[in-house]
Amino acid sequence: MLTCIIRYQIDPTKKAQFEQYARNWGQAIPRCGADLIGYYAPHEGSATVAYGIYNVASLADYETYRSRLAADPLGQENYRFAQQEKFLLREDRTWLKQASLPHGDPR
């Protein structure tokens, strides 16, 4: 299992637009094959950093997921929404794999 963490720098005057973007991905991402953990918007502290986090089984599955997302009507609409509203100033992806045992595992 691989975890993708997307770190966004957002326009602090457009938090509502980012939250709509996140809600849209909340529908499209699971439908297209990734296990969405969630999108996180600024609440307190930094007003410009937000995150999106999801899991995929492999990089091959990620490529399949990305193809489905690009063809998904809500996915297409959300990409256009972000370009039109310009609330995303920067987007960085980090890929991680779990290195610890699951919580509560007695091993």
- Domain 2-96 coded CATH 3.30.70.100: yes
Residue 8 DSSP symbol: E
pTM, entire model:
0.88
Q: How confident is the model at residue 46 (pLDDT cuts 50, 70, 90)?
A: confident
Q: How confident is the model at residue 92 (pLDDT cuts 50, 70, 90)?
A: very high
**Rounded Cα distance, 94 and 53, in Å:** 10
Q: What is the mean pLDDT of the chain?
A: 93
* DSSP string for residues in 50-96: EEEEEEES-HHHHHHHHHHHHHSHHHHHHHHHHHHH--EEEEEEEEE
3-state secondary structure of 24: helix
pLDDT at 100: 82
Listed by start position, the domains of the chain span: 2-96
pLDDT at 105: 63
The two three-digit tokens of residue 47, written as one number: 């007003």
